[in-house]
Each structure stands twice: as structure tokens, then as C-alpha cells.
């Protein structure tokens, strides 16, 4: 039985993850972590997500290392915020516990900290900006198309609910980096986030990235390849957050089955789904 801890208790995606883990034969939820001094402390996570008591009480982030060690956790799942996740990943790695991270918005410096923690403590990790299976197939398709349509203009449009705090989304940024790498225009120099006023004609190698926020949109991503007289659009739409949860479960199972050489390395959903 895989012993799972969730970080982000009280969040919508974590609630769905808890429900799904409880229905998965080879997994059990043994710990639930909220933010430091969370008002949910002491509440049963099962009752919080609407499935009744399961005997797992929410604890604050200040008790993370103690909980991980006491419950002998195999994998910690994190869906929080960037800074919260960095600190949680460092603590979790120091405890020798593997991590699945769906949190987005990491800076380059934060990712360097995460990589160092994973490497130094030789734990396994799956970190992806989007855990949905379909999105990761979407990534593969746009990578292949960027190779073929390498002289077409490319624009990326993402749409999310009004409560999302980071922009562009992690998925849109990943799409940008995939395409930029294939076109040989790496880095962020070619990224244009929105346009306004007399900006002039489109520059060669420019990749537009546009963010839409409103309502309860779970997550829409479009990559538009525009040629002369024709265009091709690749679209992924997430109807519910369950799309992400399905990928998270696959990622947890992958970590437990992956070979020793994955210790100390960050893998992605491409590895989980054998898309590389």
C-alpha cells in the first residue's frame, strides 16, 4: 500500500485528490498538511472533502517533518503556491520522501533550490506544470508541429478562472519553452505577453503568449500556428479538475515503480506517460 500525504488541505484540487486516492486500491491517505497554523488544524480530512471520517487529521505546515516521519509517508503530493511548495519540497526531501508537484509559478531561482534538494537527498520527483494526461499529449503534438511548421508564426492563448493568481499559466509557459526550443529561439527573449498600441509588425521568431481570466474556467490552452493562407490550432480544454487528478495518480504509481536511477532527478509527466 502506497502511503500518501497531501499538502494544500482545503484546496479544491487536493480535495479531489484525496477522494480519488481513497478509491484507489494500492493507495491510502495517511497525512494531510495545511498552511502554517491553518484554521483546519485538527479537522478530519475525510469530513472536509465530504466522504466522512477517515482518521486523518489536518496538521499545519510547521509540523510537516514530524508528520512525514511518524506516518512513514512514501509520496507527498503538493498543490499549493510557489514559495510554500519550495519550503515543503525541501523539508520533504530531507525526510527522504518522494514528491509529486503540480504547483506552478516557480521562478528560476526557486526551481534551482528544488533541484538541489531533490539531488542532495536522492529522492524521486515528478514535477509538471500540468498533470492532465491530455495536456501532456498536447505538449508532444506541439513539439512535433514546431519541427514541421518551423517557418510559421506561433501564438499561445490560455484561459483560466478569475481566482488564478499567476499569469501566464505554467502550462502556457511550458508550451512556449517547448516551441521556442524547437525553433532555436530559447530563453524568454522571444516571448511577447500581450500587445497594445503601435507595436509595429511582428518580429521574426516572436511567440505571443496571452492570458484570459474569468468565471470558473478550469483551463483552456490553444497553440495557433499561422502560415500564409492557412492556420492550424491545437486546443486542450479541461472540463473538470479530475483531469489533473488522474495524472497525479499515475505520477504517484510511476514514482513507486521507477528504477533506482531516477533518485535525485526530477522527472515529468512525459516520463510518466512514456512520451519522450
* Residues catalogued as catalytic: 160, 164
Cα of 245 vs its chain's centroid, Å: 11
At 232, is the secondary structure helix, strand, or coil?
strand
Annotated binding-site positions? 8-13, 35, 102-104, 128-131, 161, 170-171
CA angle 199, 204, 207 (to 5 degrees): 75
Annotated binding-site positions for NAD(+)? 8-13, 102-104, 128-131
At 101, is the secondary structure helix, strand, or coil?
strand
Burial of 211 (0-12, 13-18, 19+ CB in 10 A): middle
Q: Are 16 and 105 in contact (CB under 8 A)?
A: no
- Measured between alpha carbons, how far is 28 from 73 in angstroms, rounded to an integer? 10
Annotated binding-site positions for (S)-2,3,4,5-tetrahydrodipicolinate? 161, 170-171
Give Cβ neighbours of residue 15 (< 8 Å, ≥ 6 apart). Answer: 48, 49, 50
- CA distances to 7, 10, 197 from 91, rounded to whole Å, are 12, 21, 47
> Nearest to residue 76, comparing CAs of 41, 121, 42, 107?
121
Annotated binding-site positions for NADP(+)? 35
Residues in a beta bridge with 276: none
At 16, is the secondary structure helix, strand, or coil?
helix
- Measured between alpha carbons, how far is 107 from 111 in angstroms, rounded to an integer? 6
Residue 112, all three cell numbers = 534551482
Amino acid at each position: 500500500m502506497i502511503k500518501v500525504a497531501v499538502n494544500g488541505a482545503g484546496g479544491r484540487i487536493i480535495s479531489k485528490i484525496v477522494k480519488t486516492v481513497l478509491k484507489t486500491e494500492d493507495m491510502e491517505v495517511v497525512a494531510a498538511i495545511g498552511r502554517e497554523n491553518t484554521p483546519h488544524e485538527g479537522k478530519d480530512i475525510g469530513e472536509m472533502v465530504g466522504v466522512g471520517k477517515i482518521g486523518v487529521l489536518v496538521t499545519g505546515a510547521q509540523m510537516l517533518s514530524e508528520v512525514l516521519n511518524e506516518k512513514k509517508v512514501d509520496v507527498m503530493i503538493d498543490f499549493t503556491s510557489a514559495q510554500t511548495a519550495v519550503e515543503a519540497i525541501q523539508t520533504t526531501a530531507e525526510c527522504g520522501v518522494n514528491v509529486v508537484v503540480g504547483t506552478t509559478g516557480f521562478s528560476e531561482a526557486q526551481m534551482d533550490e528544488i533541484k538541489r534538494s531533490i539531488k542532495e537527498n536522492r529522492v524521486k520527483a515528478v514535477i509538471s506544470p500540468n498533470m492532465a494526461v491530455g495536456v501532456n499529449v498536447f505538449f508532444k503534438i506541439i513539439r512535433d508541429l514546431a519541427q514541421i511548421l518551423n517557418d510559421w508564426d506561433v501564438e499561445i492563448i490560455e484561459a483560466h478562472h478569475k481566482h488564478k493568481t499567476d499569469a501566464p499559466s505554467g502550462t502556457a509557459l511550458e508550451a512556449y519553452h517547448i516551441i521556442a526550443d524547437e525553433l532555436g529561439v530559447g530563453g524568454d527573449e522571444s516571448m511577447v505577453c500581450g500587445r497594445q498600441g503601435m507595436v509595429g509588425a511582428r518580429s521574426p521568431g516572436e511567440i505571443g503568449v496571452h492570458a484570459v481570466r474569468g468565471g470558473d474556467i478550469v483551463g483552456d490552452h490553444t497553440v495557433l500556428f499561422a502560415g500564409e493562407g492557412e492556420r492550424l490550432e491545437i486546443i486542450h480544454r479541461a472540463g473538470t479538475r479530475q483531469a489533473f487528478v488522474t495524472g497525479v495518480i499515475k505520477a504517484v504509481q510511476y514514482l513507486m515503480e521507477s528504477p533506482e536511477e531516477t533518485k535525485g532527478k526530477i522527472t515529468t509527466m512525459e516520463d510518466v506517460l512514456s512520451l519522450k
